[in-house]
Amino acid sequence: MACQVASLSNKLPKEFIAYIFYPALSHKTKAFKFAAICLLSLFILGCIQTSPHCLSPPKPTGLINAKQLFKDLQTLAHPDMQGRKTNTLGSQKAQQFIQQKFEQIGLQALQNNFRQPFYFGKNNEKGVNLFGKLAGRHKTKKNHLIVISAHYDHLGQQGTKIYHGSDDNASGVAALLTIAQFFKTYSTDYSLIFLATDAEEAGLYGAQAFLNASPIKPKQILFNINLDMISRGGRKNRLYVAGTRFKPVLKSITMLAAQPTQLCLKPGHQGRQFSRNSLTAPINWDEASDHYIFNKHGIDYLYFGVDLHPDYHQSSDTPEKTNLAFYTATVETIISTIQRLDKLVLGFNQKD
């Protein structure tokens, strides 16, 4: 999005520039001129770096049922689910909940049911992905898929300490369910797959199993939307979107999608970067979640997520930390992004 000088200059009268900067710049004292140039540079820099939407909290428009969204998040992050560690009783409870929701929404199973069991790692541990489909309505586009993914596993329990994983990633899965519910009513041209992956925390194994061994072939998939940690944007209410680098069309549709809610959406989280809350080592955001596996198969992606926060991978990542206005606006923005993507001819990277 272009720098909104216009909106800022409404608040900062033109007289401000005329009366402060012009006389200062034409002042004879060098130090005075230098100070004026510094002030002007800071003003321009501030304008470039501050999206207008980052100046105020987001305002959901009522597109989705926010109460249900939060209720599903609470269910997934409840102590009953014991932190949803792969191959545990808590994980099985989470699977049952997600399956029931898929059935209620009316997703179509691609085999007998929504489950894709798989084995991973040195100890041949068992994981289970869950996915269902909403068929598209366009006569040719419906043969191609957009996969919306969110991992449902988390870190489980250590002694009596439960790692609830509310933001990471009950938030992504509850959003996945709300988005599925929305598109059950407002169908798309492309077909949509809703994928809840397992064993992401252990090393993105669920996404690997989905692309290597599910009934869906990678070449059927034109796009991945990955949701991982989307329910709290910190003091600045900021959500990041990755995958727009070198793809201006993706950048513009996401920015347009954020406008109705005035969500502070920033292109970023690409490559190695230091997180504001983890200054010890840079994070390779390209490989930080399931979108990495899709990208390895040549599939374009958008990854929505917030920055690391002090509750990241702590037992304190609990539902009451949710910023519901931010979370709801985020889900609305993702829905609008999918609607805009649906109107494009996707498969930028695919050769056949």
Interaction of residue 198 with Zn ion, rule CB under 5 A: no
Least Å distance between CB 237 and Zn ion?
A: 21
> Contact region for Zn ion (CB under 5 A) — 94-102, 160-168, 257-265, 298-306?
160-168
CA neighbor of 335 nearest in space, from 166, 165, 194: 194
Least Å distance between CB 195 and Zn ion?
A: 17
> Contact region for Zn ion (CB under 5 A) — 91-99, 103-111, 162-170, 266-274?
162-170
**Contact positions with Zn ion (CB under 5 A) in 164-193:** 168
Least Å distance between CB 35 and Zn ion?
A: 47
Q: Cα separation of 344 and 191, whole Å?
A: 13
Least Å distance between CB 200 and Zn ion?
A: 7
CA neighbor of 192 nearest in space, from 3, 334, 1, 318: 334
Say if residue 169 is preceded by a cis peptide, omega within 30 of 0. yes
Residue with tokens 């206005």: 325
Q: Which is nearer to Zn ion, 99 or 169 (CB)?
A: 169
Least Å distance between CB 168 and Zn ion?
A: 4
Interaction of residue 311 with Zn ion, rule CB under 5 A: no
Interaction of residue 317 with Zn ion, rule CB under 5 A: no
Q: Cα separation of 184 and 12, whole Å?
A: 46
Residue with tokens 């041209």: 189
Q: Which is nearer to Zn ion, 72 or 201 (CB)?
A: 201
Q: Which is nearer to Zn ion, 171 or 191 (CB)?
A: 171
Q: Which is nearer to Zn ion, 168 or 311 (CB)?
A: 168
Side-chain half-sphere CA neighbours of 218 within 13 A: 18
Interaction of residue 307 with Zn ion, rule CB under 5 A: no
Residue 147, classed as helix, strand or coil, is strand
- H-assigned helices in the chain: 5-11, 14-16, 22-25, 30-49, 66-76, 89-105, 171-185, 205-213, 248-258, 291-296, 324-342
Residue nearest to Zn ion (CB): 168
State the number of binding residues for Zn ion (CB under 5 A): 1
Q: Which is nearer to Zn ion, 168 or 189 (CB)?
A: 168
> Contact region for Zn ion (CB under 5 A) — 161-169, 174-182, 236-244, 275-283?
161-169
What is the DSSP annotation of 246-284?
Answer: T-HHHHHHHHHHHTTTT-EEEE---SEEEETTEEEEEEE
Residue 244 near residue 302, CB atoms below 8 Å: yes
Site residues, Zn ion (CB under 5 A): 168
